[in-house]
Structure 1
Amino acid sequence: MYTADEIYYFNSEASDFTGIKFDRVETSPFQGVPINEYKNNEERLGDYESVLDGIDAYDLSQSELANFQQDMNDAYLVITGNPMTGTSEPDYQTDENGELVLDEYNNPITVDNSETDVVQNMLKARLLILDNNNDPEGPNPSAQYLTKTYDSTGAEAYKKRLVDDILRFTFTPDTNDQNFAGTQSGEAMKYKLMGNDNLRKTKERLLTRGIMRRLRLIGNVWSIKNTLYGIINEVQLKFTPNVPQNDEERVTQLKALYGVISDETLFELLETFTGVDADEEMKRLDEQKQKGMEDFTAQTNYKQLKPDDGGQDGQLLDQAD
């Protein structure tokens, strides 16, 4: 058991942790409870929990659609205008004592071609044959499937409304929206992503809080040998949003900033495009300039030592080479 200052140890010989006995207590080197929390939001809720009812409703509507399709496949064929063909009596078999004869499942056994036997066979074949010979105008034969009516237009509108509500209340952009991309400007796109961007910043703030607390706990342990607490407080966490970027437009904007801001700031802005750290990029640029100066000096010396008649200057050229 952890507290802010101490760690308590308990032992138990049983696998179900019954009969726990206190063993010892030690001073905690963390100077805090070494259990770190990374909150998703101030309410400590998942992004989906606020719209869980909407998700369940969408799943139910999808399930009902699947059930309807299955019912269509299992629909009964109804044929009217044909008299009942079962004529045998009685409906169930009996023994010499007049008792019903039962099958292995204790169900009465029907007599072949009895009315009950015909109805059972029709149900097995998913077929219903109905008699309308009592119609004064005579029998009017017809056949149709016995199905429920499904409002496909209303069901699709209902599911679309559920999806729209789920996306809106979770600040999730609808990437399937036909008006989401296309010819819209970058600023218009930012307005559509503004809710999601604000939510992302909240998550970054809470995640930073959790990471910094973890680093401070580590710093408390390391401070036994070295003092790192002040250095840890200077740590700056950097998050890069995973959003589409117009690289060509970004490079054009950075070119316009050349000479207006410092090279170091310019390379820091370019880091998300090149993937190279600003310090490393400046180091590479210095090495490139140094190499260019060395190449220029070498070419200048070569021109000065180049012989015209193959005399003594030729020996100087060989020495220079």
Structure 2
Amino acid sequence: MPLDEHNVSNNGDTSLGDNITLTDDDVFLYRSGANLLDNLEDVRSIVSYHENYIAEKYKMKRDYYKGRHHAIIQRPPKPHNKPDYRLLINLPKKLVSTFNGYFSGDPVSIKYHSDSDASNDKMNDEIQSWLNDNDYGDTFSEWAKQADIYGRSYLYVYQIDGDLRIAVCSPRDTIMIYDDSIQHRPVAAIRYSTNSNKQYDTLITPKADYLISNDNANSEMKVTNVDPNNPDNVVKEDIHDFESLPVIELAEDDERIGIFDDVISLIDAVDLIQSAKVNDVSSFADQYLVVKGQKLTEEQVTNIQDKRFINLYRETKTSFNNTDSNMLDPDAFFLTPDPSDETQENALNRLIDMVYQVSQVVNLNDSNFGVSAQSISGVALLQRYQPMQAKARTKAKKMDKGLRQLFSIMFAYKNLSGNVSDLTFDHKQSIPHNVSEEADIVGKLNGQVSDPTKLSYLSGIDDPDKEIERLHEQQKQDQQATANIVKNYLSDQKKGGVVDDDNGQATTGKNTATNQSGRPNGQAD
């Protein structure tokens, strides 16, 4: 089923007016130099087109993710009360959960380090404290998950009670607008909602949030939170004057294609085949009894239905004292449909395999994954995860770009002197590793390569150089602990009257005279 369900051709860029262009990736471009506040009719055009056409695509994607698959649900009912099961195999949610768990199961690690700034620790404390206040692990995970579903998602930065907060916004009711320059710089964003005959839009710019009332009854459109005598004076709580646009897009890729966009037709086929299999099983209850060579009376039919008993025998017809050779021998059997189960199973397995291949997501329910990771070579594991790993790397670069935009706003808002280019983002994707094989490799490399190179083969070590520093520090601590034990032991021995003589012999501290035979005085030879 195609995602484009509207009658507007979007195989290339579409013009929506003098100032607005819509790309084939459903990205709105606005003419450089034009001001949206001076052209509120452009705001209406953008919102109207988005609501009538683009939002419908997102609703369809949402339905499929929630298990409301259009092809199987909207299928016409079968006639004559035939079995009509409609099974929904929610592969879209499975794909999203698997990939998002792999991509953001562990929150991205954000560190600040500047060679020219001695306050790295202070900056990291500020960043971590702000992230924790905003529950960044859950927020970033939802940000990434919505991008999997819709192909894009938005992070909205706002101020409340003198603090800076972030929230995830859905592309179903949020629109990002870029300029039509080669850089495609963010110009503004729109969030809209409809209530009765009035539509309320919020035009978001780096300077402020403008509330726009759209009265469909009298076709009047105006900014409601601006002083009529001074259009630049918006109400205080809506002024923020951020460093950049406080709406940040996370795109799944450059084309804004969701993770299951390309496999919806395959998912529909899986639903149809699985439903047909159950219908076939149910149809066995509709078997027909065939009786050949015998005409049953009403009483016999009733006995078959009620008593489940049938007695058939060949009746003879006397014709010249011979049996009619044209008569059939009585027979009874059930007429059942051919289930074609093997063909259906092969098609089903092939379709499910293609769903995972095309979406570049690892099928964790594959029978091959039943083998312990300890029994699979590290190369084989990486090969299985390589398509999903490549997809995750592409998305991580998109998220890093958005995070730098986020922290440019945060640094300016909190008057921090840091540079966003000194931020590093570590995305820890959870790939199973053959730890035993890694340990064998490290053992074989002992004495062959440097320690940092050797430790880099262990997947559990993120920073080999820092690990070596910790190892040396631990060795020093162990040596000091051993020295302290020996020192305490010798001190205890001295206090107990036991010392070492020049020959290394342990003797008592008292001088004992001996006779010529070496025995103490007073003892007989």
Describe how 1:143-292 pairs up with structure 2 within 5 A: 143-174=332-363, 176=366, 178=368, 185-223=377-415, 226-228=416-418, 230=419, 232-255=420-443, 256=445, 260-261=449-450, 269=456, 272-273=459-460, 279=466, 282-283=469-470, 285-286=472-473, 288-290=475-477, 292=479
Change (3 A) 1:243 1:137: same
Q: How far does residue 209 in structure 1 lie from its aligned partner after superposition?
A: 2.2
SS of 2:332's equivalent?
strand
Which whole-Å CA distance do the structure 2 matches of 1:258 and 1:28 have between them? 59
Closer, same or farther: CA 124–69 of 1 in aligned 2, 3 Å: farther
Corresponding residue number in structure 1 for 2:253: 41
Q: 1:83 aligns with which of 287, 295, 308?
A: 295
Q: Secondary structure at the match of 1:77?
A: strand
CA drift at 1:242: 1.5
Matched, 1:65 2:277: yes
- Looking at structure 2, the residues matched to 138 and 257 of structure 1 have their Cα atoms a distance apart, in angstroms, of 92
Alpha carbons 1:3, 1:33 under 8 Å: kept:
yes
CA distance in 2, matches of 1:48, 1:140: 60
More deviation, 292-301/21-30: 292-301
Q: 2:426 aligns to what SS in structure 1?
A: coil
> Which residue identity does 1:23 align to in structure 2?
N
**What TM-score, normalized by structure 2, do the two folds share?**
0.42
Structure 1 stretch displaced more, 150-159 or 74-83: 74-83
**Partner in structure 1 of residue 49 of structure 2:** none
Q: Distance in 2 between matches of 1:151 and 1:258?
A: 63
1:293–1:217 CA distance, 2 compared to 1 (3 A): same
3-state SS of 2:250 partner: coil
CA contact (8 A) 1:29 1:220 kept: no
RMSD: 4.6
| TM-aligned CA deviation for residue 8 of structure 1 | 1.7
Higher helix share: 1
Deviations 1:27-50 (A, max 9, x none): 323233322222222222221110
Question: Which residue, out of 224, 228, 231, partners 1:22?
Answer: 224
Contact 1:271-1:278 within 8 A present in 2 as well: no
Aligned equivalents of 1:207 and 1:78: distance in 2?
67
8 Å Cα contact 2:207/2:240 also seen in 1: yes
* Distance across 2 between alignment mates of 1:188 and 1:180: 14
Aligned residues: 268
Residues of 1 paired with 2:422 and 2:409: CA distance? 15
SS of the residue 2:248 aligns to:
coil
Q: Is contact 2:206-2:244 (8 Å) kept?
A: yes
Q: Which residue of 2 aligns with 1:296?
A: 483
User: CA distance change for structure 1 residues 77 and 276 in 2, over 3 Å: closer, same or farther?
Assistant: farther
Contact 1:171 / 1:196 at 8 angstroms: preserved in 2? yes
Q: Is the CA contact (8 Å cut-off) linking 1:41 and 1:203 kept in structure 2?
A: yes
- Confirm whether residue 5 of structure 1 aligns to residue 207 of structure 2: yes
Cα distance change, pair 259–216 in 1 and its aligned pair in 2 (3 A): farther
Pick closer, same or farther for the CA change 1:297–1:165 going to 2, 3 Å: closer
Structure with the largest fraction of strand: 2
Q: Deviations over 1:255-276 (max 9, x none)?
A: 536794466x777x48852689
User: In the TM superposition, what whole-angstrom CA distance separates every residue of 1:139-172 from its partner, at most 9, and x where no partner exists?
Assistant: 5432222322222222222222212322221223
Paired AA for residue 49 in structure 1: D
The Cα of 1:174 is off from its aligned counterpart by 4.7
Q: Work out whether residues 174 and 180 of structure 1, in 8 Å CA contact, stay in contact via their aligned partners in 2.
A: no
The reply on whether 1:32 has 2:244 as its aligned counterpart is: yes
- Percent sequence identity over aligned pairs: 21
